[in-house]
């Protein structure tokens, strides 16, 4: 059941990502995707193996669901937020889209916890919200750096 739910949500996120307008070049999106996957995987592995704060289920279906959630929905949602934050929209719309993505990520994390894909030692909505806010800020800074790095070399 958990694997089916994660795959369904992954397809919804892929469709939303395909429909959403993109302000970043394709090469930048691919770079950000791989950086995001590395950042998320290393963070969750550190929290699982070293701190035992987030435990991934050891069953085959649920651990595969955790891998899919780290590879598709979470990185694509973060890239959608970076595209929105780097767009030419008004500032209030950028913040609304960023907050909406944070709420979706928090609800998705709660759904993973509810379906026993991941288990937190002390789960708190604020911790998850802050964690994804930091992910979003770091990835936005990396996107800003990568886009500006290409411009400085071209000049």
pLDDT tens figures, 128-147: 999 999 999 999 999 999 88
Note the pLDDT of residue 88: 86
Mean pLDDT value across residues 15-37? 93
How far is Cα of residue 111 from the mean position of the Cα atoms in its chain? 15
Residues with Cβ within 8 Å of 22's Cβ and at least 6 positions away in sequence, in order, are 29, 83
Distance CA 141, CA 45 (A): 23
Note the pLDDT of residue 149: 83
Do residues 59 and 116 lie in contact, with contact meaning Cβ atoms separated by under 8 Å? Answer: no
Q: Residues 66-115: pLDDT tens digits?
A: 999 999 999 999 999 999 998 888 999 999 999 999 999 999 999 999 99
The angle at the Cα of 105, spanning 99 to 108, to the nearest 5 degrees, equals 140
Asked if pLDDT for residue 122 goes beyond 90, the answer is no
Asked if pLDDT for residue 152 goes beyond 70, the answer is no
- Greatest pairwise CA separation for the chain in angstroms: 53
Q: Which of 24, 36, 46 has the alpha carbon at shortest distance from 134?
A: 36
Asked if pLDDT for residue 148 goes beyond 90, the answer is no
pLDDT bin (cut points 50, 70, 90) of residue 150 is: low
Q: Residues 13-23: pLDDT tens digits?
A: 999 999 998 88
Note the pLDDT of residue 111: 95
């Amino acid at each position: 059941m958990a694997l089916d739910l994660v795959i369904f949500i992954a397809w919804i996120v892929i469709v939303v990502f395909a429909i959403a307008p993109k302000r970043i070049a394709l090469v930048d999106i691919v770079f950000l995707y791989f950086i995001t996957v590395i950042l998320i995987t290393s963070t969750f592995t550190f929290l699982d193996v070293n701190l035992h704060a987030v435990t991934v289920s050891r069953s085959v279906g649920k651990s595969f669901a955790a891998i899919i959630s780290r590879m598709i929905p979470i990185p694509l949602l973060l890239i959608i937020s970076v595209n929105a934050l780097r767009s030419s929209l008004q500032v209030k719309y950028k913040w609304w889209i960023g907050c909406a993505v944070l709420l979706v990520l928090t609800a998705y994390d709660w759904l993973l916890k509810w379906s026993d894909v991941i288990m937190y030692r002390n789960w708190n909505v604020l911790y998850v919200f802050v964690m994804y806010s930091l992910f979003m800020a770091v990835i936005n800074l990396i996107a800003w750096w990568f886009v500006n790095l290409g411009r400085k070399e071209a000049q």
